[in-house]
Structure 1
Amino acid sequence: MYTPRAFAFDDLPQIQQLIQHTRLAQLVTFGEQGLQASHLPLLLNPDEGPNGTLYGHMAKANHQWQDLQNGGEALVIFAGAEAYISPAFYPAKAEHGKVVPTWNYLAVHAYGQAEVFTDAERLLELVSALTQRHETERAQPWAVSDAPADYIEGMLKAIVGFALPIKRLEGKRKLSQNRSAADIAGVREGLAASPDVRDQILAHLIPKEPA
């Protein structure tokens, strides 16, 4: 990932926090079938390995798991908050007009080689943990154990799990840190005034001073 120095993001706890807050990641692999990508909910164990370990599963009918089984390196993309940045946000527009649009965003790329597993007990533990994570805030959380045991047993036979120890991380926080303090303030104010909640979320992340 192209990352100018001003946008470098290498604080491990903050990177892991972004990973954990990303509900749907993109898993990218390359193998005999060429490039493949799947959109998957993942779990991070931050204490397993120097950078943490990712856990997930996919349909057995999705042959991308074979790329993992064959030992190829995988790329997992976690996209954080993002927003379009209008030149109108910059006071510099009125001063000299030498401004263009851009996009601000947070992103993390994780690389590693995965272990594939089909053990029913281990798969049940994984899908139960994933379900608990996404159901926990509901008034009446659903649990895997709510479904008939024989039904879950059949569903587990249709998926493949994987554990991916993260060997390398790349983080990027592009938040207008390369602009003047006045332009940064203009970006923060412009995003905060937007009716789009995604813009408002990013507004809270804009720094107060240039990098």
Structure 2
Amino acid sequence: MRRGGGVRRDADGAELQLPLNVIGVLAGCENMPGGRAYRPGDVLTTMSGQTVEVLNTDAEGRLVLCDVLTYVERFEPEAVIDVATLTGACVIALGHHITGLMSNHNPLAHELIGASELAGDRAWRLPLADEFQDQLESNFADMANIGGRPGGAITAGCFLSRFTRKYNWAHLDIAGTAWRSGKAKGATGRPVALLSQFLLNRAGFNGEE
């Protein structure tokens, strides 16, 4: 990696030299109006083959992310952690101080919570209970893309969980923690500290090293 021109930090993660195989996947699309834009009532077929009824076009990020969660199956991962500024509802629930965490695997969730506390980059686990899954029911597709206002951050996590049945998975909603407003506005860098500590722990380093 180049070291000059403002990219001095680019190589930091690699320089930890942890004996771990980490794969990063970044998905994006152009969010623009046009004649081919999707509309309320559309039914979309995802990469997994599951269908989604669009009830709210503003819940678009999860429609990109769900295909990424299907895409990574080809790597046969031990664990998958997705990170997204997904919902305003998470900001309402946890403010700007704590990242929302959801997971289909208790040991993975406990690892991440422990790493968050050790790193001082706090996360709080939210439940993926069946009652929230029920809010995604659709009469026209396998699921709806939104579950209404109550528990909005959780129903977004429930939506994603339907694409993660082949591996251990955790979702970090950083909508409230990724950005600082006001006089000192700017990106916070979270949850880099949490994820770095998680990887250090997995590699066998304790918090004092």
- TM tier, smaller: under 0.3
What's the TM-score once normalised by structure 1's chain length?
Answer: 0.25
Structure with more strand by fraction: 1
What's the TM-score once normalised by structure 2's chain length?
Answer: 0.26
